[in-house]
Amino acid sequence: MTEALTRPLKLNNTKLAAEYRDILLYGGQFRLVPVTEGIAETAAQLRARYNLRTPEAIHVATALENGCDAFLTNDKGIQRVAEIRTLVLDDLEVDS
């Protein structure tokens, strides 16, 4: 939620921020989960092992702790995390 809302709020686009919030909370394709002690500890391990920034480490740790098959991102640096398959948006081919 933090990552998705930052840009619209920076642009003072409250309508877009509300649309993003609605998609994330009520769209049915996403599940927001709280940061647990396990996620925090896994994030610390990922930071130590891969030198990730805290937000990225929390995101990846959350995916790992919740059994995700892959991590979708545009941050190519996350590909170095061996514990999860990383899909980089810019590298994906879209079928027309």
pLDDT digits 0-9 by tens, 9-36: 999 999 999 999 999 899 888 888 999 9
- CA–CA distance, 67 with 51 (Å, rounded to integer): 22
Query: 3 pLDDT exceeds 90?
Result: no
**The pLDDT of residue 89:** 83
Beta bridge partners of 95: none
Put simply, whether the predicted model's pTM sits higher than 0.85 gets the answer no
Check whether 39 has a pLDDT greater than 80: yes
pLDDT by residue (tens digit) across 62-76?
999 999 999 988 899
pLDDT over 90 at 91, yes or no: no
Question: For residue 31, what pLDDT is reported?
Answer: 85
CA distance 50 to 53: 9
User: What is the distance between the alpha carbons of residues 82 and 30, in angstroms, rounded to a whole number?
Assistant: 24
pLDDT at 45: 98
**Residue 81, pLDDT score:** 97
For tokens 């092992």, what's the residue? Answer: 49
DSSP 69: S
CB 62 within 8 A of CB 39: yes
